[in-house]
Structure 1
Amino acid sequence: MKRYYKTMLLTFLAATAFISCEDYLDVNPELGISSEEVFTDYFSTRGVVDRANFLIHNYVYSDTDWSSEIGVMSDECQVTHTKFPPHWIYNTGVWMNSNARELGGMTNESAGAEYHGNDHQAEPVSKAFLAIRSVNSVLENIDQLIEYPTELGYSQKELKDQLVGQSYFLRGFHYFQIIRRYGGFPIMNKTYSTTHDFDEIRPTYIQSSDSLVKDLDRAIQMLPEKWNDQNLGRATKTSARALKAMVLLYAASPLMNPDINPYGSSSRTYNTTYAEKAAQAAAEAINGYPAGGYEMFNMSEYTENWYSRTSGFPKEAIIQAPLSRHTDPNTSGRAGQGWFLPQFAGGWLIEGQPTQNAVDWFETADGYDINDPEAISSGSFDPNAPYDNRDPRLRTLISVHGDDMFEGLPNPGNNNIRIFDARPGGWHYNFEVNKNKFFTGYYHKGKHKWPGNDKWNRSRGWYRYFPHIRVAQLYLDFAEAANEAYGPNGVVPGSSLTAVQALNIVRNRANMPNVLAKYATDKDEFRKRIYNERAVELFQEFHRWHDLRRWKLSKEILGEGTIYGADIKDIGGQTVYEKKALQGAVRVFEDKHYWYPIPTSVMDIMSQFEQNPGW
């Protein structure tokens, strides 16, 4: 562990040495800069905080930002070619020492590469270590601050509190990126020298979470409710409250409580004490978010969460990576195409496609699960027209057979390309199969593809965003925690909401009816709708993979389940819609895969620190 932290420190030195305007971010004597020179001045101190802020992973940084594309590791998407790591590493279970993208964050030594234009090489975890060191240096030296500006509209006390509050928030945010993947981890509450002895007894996930929550409570006390126009997008009290709710929900989840859900067992019991804490934290965030200037978009504005003609921060984004030139397609070109745009339209071989599994999550417009026999008997769902009368989010987020792929934009020059044809012999089917790729019968739309995002129209002027937490998630976190602590219809103390009411707020925004009463009869039945609503509302927002893990459902759904694609064909002059297992699209998931393995190079120098189970 000492060797690892030394590597991370040297990486930090190397990264900052190449940036003349940010040399002050490193206070190591080797650079000839004293801590007094950095931390006596407000702007240089804020620069250290902002370094940790810019290390929040930006999912739309460049064309090839696939560093944390984990949808294809779950059941919501399928990687389209066997040559890429999501297929031959993630989905085959060969994780130990793989050092591949999402799984390589613990040993990725190019974590500072985002300053060299290669952000797609840096993982959230590798960035987290650098960010934590930055804010720890601020917290240790904040009392040296004596030079304050007068033109920012805040008092000296407010400016100092803002720096401290942001530091605690950012330490919590980045530490969460570590523990949600690796489990309990040393509590990094100070800057460390290369001689520090890290060989310590490993804390539990709950102990790590408790430490994290203390940081967020400090942040809530010191952060502003709302920033002025010059500082929009920075963390607020609502940001810290929402993250606290998410952290506590994870701590309440089955995976994080091995005492009541032993390793290898099928037990999936929540920790109700932490579920109560999570529900109350979410209630506080819900009560306060309007004061922070946040609100949910209506359905006609839904995609403003991810792309907009207007620069700035989406009003629904409670936590959002800082804006940069890479979120502006006027300068970065085709951000997001690498993963999500079909190859025939200018994307890459590696793009993932939505699975039939995911399409089946979207209820009928009347609120029926399509697998519910009553959905057909009531006439709500027609298997012969499976995309009709469905949750509006389906056609907003996913392109299906029969869709206009160009939504009225100029024809690409081939009439066969315009109308999506997923039938054998159809243009799109033939293109994908001829490229020796997996073909699910679906393409991404809403969250990753703005109008005219193709090699023919090359529409620019769309600003790209990808929130880490938005208002809708806050209600979903509340609903899950409240259901476990108080049942579907129990009112959470400090709130007027029940779990059912919170879920309905998210559904109603999408022009969906309230959840059917038959699905909310008890905690167990309603939990299924909560899980499903998260899968739909947070589709392809990098939650599904972590949700399945914390629910202890990955082994059942991924390891023992099947990945399906659409099977659409003409029989006797009628189009028949079925599904088929995608041959070779397997997911190897065993009990040990619930936690990422700590690399051998780290474990070899430890004696007390325990490896994750099964590795």
Structure 2
Amino acid sequence: MKRYYTRLLLALTAVSILISCEDYLDVSPELGISSEEVFTDYFSARGAVDRASRLIHNSVYNGTDWSSEIGAMSDECQMAQARFPTHRILNAGVWMNSNTKEIGGMRYIGAGGEFNGSDFSTEPTSKAFLAIRAVNTVLENIDQLEEYPTELGFSPQELKDQLVGQSYFLRAFHYFQVIRRYGGFPILNKVYDTSHDFNEVRPSYLTSTDSLVADCDRAIQRLPERWNDQNNGRATKTSARALKAMALLYASSPLMNPDLNPYGSNSRTYNTAYAEKAAAAAADAINSFTAGGYEMYTMEDYKENWLSRTPGFPKEAIIVPPFSRHSDPAGGLVGQGWMLPQFAGGWFAESPPTHNAVEWFETADGYDVNDPDAIANGSFDPTDPYSNRDPRLKTLIFTHGDEMFEGLPNPGDTRIRVLDATNPSGWHYNFDVSKNKMFTGYYHKGKHRWIGCDRWNRRGGWYRSFPHIRVAQLYLDYAEAVNEAYGPNGTAPGSSLTAVEAINVVRSRANMPNVLAKYTSSKDEFRKRIYNERAVELFHEQHRWHDLRRWKLAKEVLGEGNIYSVDIRVVNGQTVYGKKVIQNAIRVFEDKHYWYPFPQNVMDIMTEFEQNPGW
């Protein structure tokens, strides 16, 4: 372990030396720079904090996401080509030392890539280590700060508190990225030198979470409630409260509590003590977000969370990486590979929605489409399955019969313009089958793809965003925590909002009715609707994979034969809608896959530190 961290520290130092504008992050005797020269100046110290902010993973800026988009690891999307890492490695279950993005074994690759988004190998936890090193350097040297600017409109104490508050927040955020994947991890609360001995007993997930929460509390004390216009997008008190709530919700979840849910068992009991803490933290965040300048968009402006014609940060985004603008939608960058079809200018690596995901969207009357009452009451028509559905379905996903493009060279050519998923005669069905692709019958529409994003129109000029936490998630986190701690109609201390009412806030924005009473009769019954609402509202935002893991449902949900496409056939002149298992869409998921494995070269030099179960 000691040797591993030595290599990590050397890598961090190498990065800062090679990038001249950021060499204040790691003081090097070879450069003849002392910490006093670096950290006496406010802007140098703030640069270190900003570096950690830039290391927040940005899924619309980093070109690597096309090759292993997290949605395709779950049941919400399907990687169309078997030759890409998501299928070859993740879906084959061979994670150890895979050198693949997302589960790449804390893999650090080269200098510079993390900062401009062009790195094609480094995975998120390696970025987290870099960021934690940066903010720990700031916290260790903050008392040397002497030179404060006067033109920013803040007092010296306010400026210092802002740097310290942001540092604690960023340390908590990046540490969470490590533990949500790997489990309990040594508390990284200082700058470690090469002589430090990391050969220690591994802390539990709850112990690691307690450390993270303490950092969130420190950040809440020091961060502003709201920034001025020049600093929009930086962490606020609400950001720290939201992160605290999310981290505590994870800590309450079945996977994170092996004492309640032993390895290999099917038990899925929540830790109610941590659920109570999560509920209280989520209530604090909900109570504060308007003061922080955040708000929920209306359904008419829903897409502003991800796509905007004007620069700035989405009003609903509480934690968000820096913006990026992609002016050439057919240029092959910023994640379009997993949302734009190949025939329209995308890559082979697209990962369109599954039929599993489409079934999550209820009827417009609030019925689960697989509920017999939905058909009995006339709410769902199997012969017209995409009508009378949750408005978010048509906002986010193209379905059979939808017009997908405008301004084609021959507008009358409906073969391309209108989605035809008919088996076997449909144009889109045949195109994908001829390319040896795994066809789902659906294409992405809303969150990361805009009208004109295709090889014919090439309409650019959109400012794109990928929030890590939005206002809507606060209500979803609150509902789940309150339901586990107090039941569907319970409330958290400091709030009069019930778990059911919290879900209804999110549904109301989508012009959906309140959750039907039949689904709120018990904690267990309502839990199903919470999980479903989360899958719908956070669709294609890289939550589903981590949610299935923390709920201990991944092994069940991702089992062989559980990933579906739509199956549309014409029988005696009538269109018949069904579903079928996608051939070769195998998700190998065993108990050991609930936690990512530490690389073997790390474990080879450990004696006290324990590998994750099964690896």
Q: How does 1:403-442 map to 2 (within 5 A)?
A: 403-406=402-405, 414-423=413-422, 424-442=424-442
**Aligned with 1:303: secondary structure?**
helix
Letter of the 2:8 partner, please give it. Answer: M
> Which residue number in structure 1 is paired with residue 386 of structure 2?
387
Please say which of residues 439-448 and 166-175 is displaced more in the overlay. 439-448
1:578 aligns with 2:575: no
Between the aligned partners of 1:331 and 1:217, the Cα distance in structure 2 is 44
**Equivalent pair of 2:213/2:244 in contact (CA under 8 Å):** yes
Deviations 1:435-486 (Å, cap 9, x if unpaired)? Answer: 0010010111101211100010001111110100000011000000000001
Please say which of residues 326-335 and 68-77 is displaced more in the overlay. 326-335
> Which residue number in structure 2 is paired with residue 342 of structure 1?
341
Between the aligned partners of 1:110 and 1:561, the Cα distance in structure 2 is 39
Deviations 1:535-572 (Å, cap 9, x if unpaired)? Answer: 00001100000000000001111135510001001111
Please say which of residues 407-416 and 35-44 is displaced more in the overlay. 407-416
> Which residue number in structure 2 is paired with residue 251 of structure 1?
251
**Aligned with 2:569: secondary structure?**
strand
**Aligned with 1:11: secondary structure?**
helix
Between the aligned partners of 2:52 and 2:30, the Cα distance in structure 1 is 21
Letter of the 1:110 partner, please give it. Answer: G
Between the aligned partners of 1:560 and 1:524, the Cα distance in structure 2 is 26
**Equivalent pair of 1:112/1:127 in contact (CA under 8 Å):** no
**CA 1:318–1:220 in 2, change beyond 3 Å: closer, same or farther?**
same
> Which residue number in structure 1 is paired with residue 400 of structure 2?
401
> Which residue number in structure 2 is paired with residue 567 of structure 1?
567
Q: How does 1:44-59 map to 2 (within 5 A)?
A: 44-59=44-59
Between the aligned partners of 1:43 and 1:198, the Cα distance in structure 2 is 33
> Which residue number in structure 2 is paired with residue 193 of structure 1?
193
**CA 1:196–1:177 in 2, change beyond 3 Å: closer, same or farther?**
same
**CA 1:81–1:332 in 2, change beyond 3 Å: closer, same or farther?**
closer
**Aligned with 1:290: secondary structure?**
coil
> Which residue number in structure 1 is paired with residue 97 of structure 2?
97
Deviation at 1:62, TM superposition (A): 4.8
> Which residue number in structure 2 is paired with residue 107 of structure 1?
107
**Equivalent pair of 1:355/1:565 in contact (CA under 8 Å):** yes
Deviation at 1:337, TM superposition (A): 1.5
1:139 aligns with 2:155: no
Letter of the 1:174 partner, please give it. Answer: H
**CA 1:94–1:554 in 2, change beyond 3 Å: closer, same or farther?**
same
**Aligned with 1:437: secondary structure?**
coil
Between the aligned partners of 2:72 and 2:280, the Cα distance in structure 1 is 33
Between the aligned partners of 2:504 and 2:328, the Cα distance in structure 1 is 35
**Equivalent pair of 2:330/2:455 in contact (CA under 8 Å):** no
> Which residue number in structure 2 is paired with residue 362 of structure 1?
361
Deviation at 1:64, TM superposition (A): 4.9
Deviation at 1:526, TM superposition (A): 0.1
The number of equivalent residue pairs is 614
> Which residue number in structure 1 is paired with residue 350 of structure 2?
351
Deviation at 1:113, TM superposition (A): 1.6
Deviation at 1:25, TM superposition (A): 2.2
Deviation at 1:608, TM superposition (A): 0.3
> Which residue number in structure 1 is paired with residue 464 of structure 2?
464
Letter of the 1:15 partner, please give it. Answer: V
**Equivalent pair of 1:105/1:124 in contact (CA under 8 Å):** no
> Which residue number in structure 2 is paired with residue 476 of structure 1?
476
1:73 aligns with 2:73: yes
Deviation at 1:5, TM superposition (A): 1.8
1:42 aligns with 2:42: yes
**Equivalent pair of 1:92/1:588 in contact (CA under 8 Å):** yes
**Equivalent pair of 2:330/2:458 in contact (CA under 8 Å):** no
Between the aligned partners of 1:361 and 1:330, the Cα distance in structure 2 is 29
> Which residue number in structure 2 is paired with residue 315 of structure 1?
315
Deviation at 1:328, TM superposition (A): 5.8
Please say which of residues 414-423 and 371-380 is displaced more in the overlay. 414-423
Q: How does 1:205-604 map to 2 (within 5 A)?
A: 205-324=205-324, 335-406=334-405, 414-423=413-422, 424-559=424-559, 562-604=562-604
Letter of the 1:416 partner, please give it. Answer: R
**Equivalent pair of 1:569/1:575 in contact (CA under 8 Å):** yes
Between the aligned partners of 2:429 and 2:529, the Cα distance in structure 1 is 33
**Equivalent pair of 1:111/1:121 in contact (CA under 8 Å):** no
Deviation at 1:195, TM superposition (A): 2.1
Deviation at 1:411, TM superposition (A): 5.0
Between the aligned partners of 1:105 and 1:604, the Cα distance in structure 2 is 14
Between the aligned partners of 2:342 and 2:465, the Cα distance in structure 1 is 22
**CA 1:591–1:65 in 2, change beyond 3 Å: closer, same or farther?**
closer
Percent identity for Structure 1 against Structure 2:
74
**Equivalent pair of 2:54/2:115 in contact (CA under 8 Å):** no
Deviation at 1:414, TM superposition (A): 4.1
Deviations 1:62-117 (Å, cap 9, x if unpaired)? Answer: 55533661111111111111111111100111011111111115133337423465
Deviation at 1:427, TM superposition (A): 1.0
Between the aligned partners of 1:177 and 1:520, the Cα distance in structure 2 is 33
**Equivalent pair of 1:328/1:462 in contact (CA under 8 Å):** yes
Please say which of residues 406-415 and 198-207 is displaced more in the overlay. 406-415
Between the aligned partners of 1:111 and 1:203, the Cα distance in structure 2 is 31
Between the aligned partners of 2:601 and 2:87, the Cα distance in structure 1 is 25
Letter of the 1:363 partner, please give it. Answer: E
State the TM-score, normalizing by the size of structure 2. 0.97
> Which residue number in structure 2 is paired with residue 2 of structure 1?
2
Letter of the 1:502 partner, please give it. Answer: A
Between the aligned partners of 1:371 and 1:116, the Cα distance in structure 2 is 45
**Equivalent pair of 1:412/1:456 in contact (CA under 8 Å):** no
**Aligned with 2:289: secondary structure?**
helix
**Equivalent pair of 1:61/1:120 in contact (CA under 8 Å):** no
**Equivalent pair of 1:227/1:234 in contact (CA under 8 Å):** yes
**CA 1:107–1:19 in 2, change beyond 3 Å: closer, same or farther?**
closer
Deviation at 1:584, TM superposition (A): 1.1
**CA 1:330–1:374 in 2, change beyond 3 Å: closer, same or farther?**
closer
**Equivalent pair of 2:49/2:135 in contact (CA under 8 Å):** yes
Moved over 6 A (4+): 330-333
Between the aligned partners of 1:35 and 1:330, the Cα distance in structure 2 is 44
Letter of the 2:380 partner, please give it. Answer: F
**Aligned with 1:53: secondary structure?**
helix
Letter of the 1:459 partner, please give it. Answer: R
Deviation at 1:496, TM superposition (A): 1.2
Between the aligned partners of 1:181 and 1:250, the Cα distance in structure 2 is 11
For structure 1, list consecutive stretches of 5 or more residues without a partner in the other structure.
none
Between the aligned partners of 1:560 and 1:111, the Cα distance in structure 2 is 40
> Which residue number in structure 2 is paired with residue 159 of structure 1?
159
Between the aligned partners of 1:120 and 1:313, the Cα distance in structure 2 is 26
Deviation at 1:192, TM superposition (A): 0.9
Between the aligned partners of 1:103 and 1:411, the Cα distance in structure 2 is 44
For structure 2, list consecutive stretches of 5 or more residues without a partner in the other structure.
none
**Aligned with 1:457: secondary structure?**
coil
> Which residue number in structure 2 is paired with residue 202 of structure 1?
202
Between the aligned partners of 2:283 and 2:30, the Cα distance in structure 1 is 48
> Which residue number in structure 2 is paired with residue 17 of structure 1?
17
**Equivalent pair of 2:330/2:453 in contact (CA under 8 Å):** no
**CA 1:67–1:244 in 2, change beyond 3 Å: closer, same or farther?**
farther
Please say which of residues 110-119 and 486-495 is displaced more in the overlay. 110-119
Please say which of residues 490-499 and 129-138 is displaced more in the overlay. 490-499
Between the aligned partners of 1:459 and 1:586, the Cα distance in structure 2 is 36
Between the aligned partners of 1:251 and 1:403, the Cα distance in structure 2 is 42
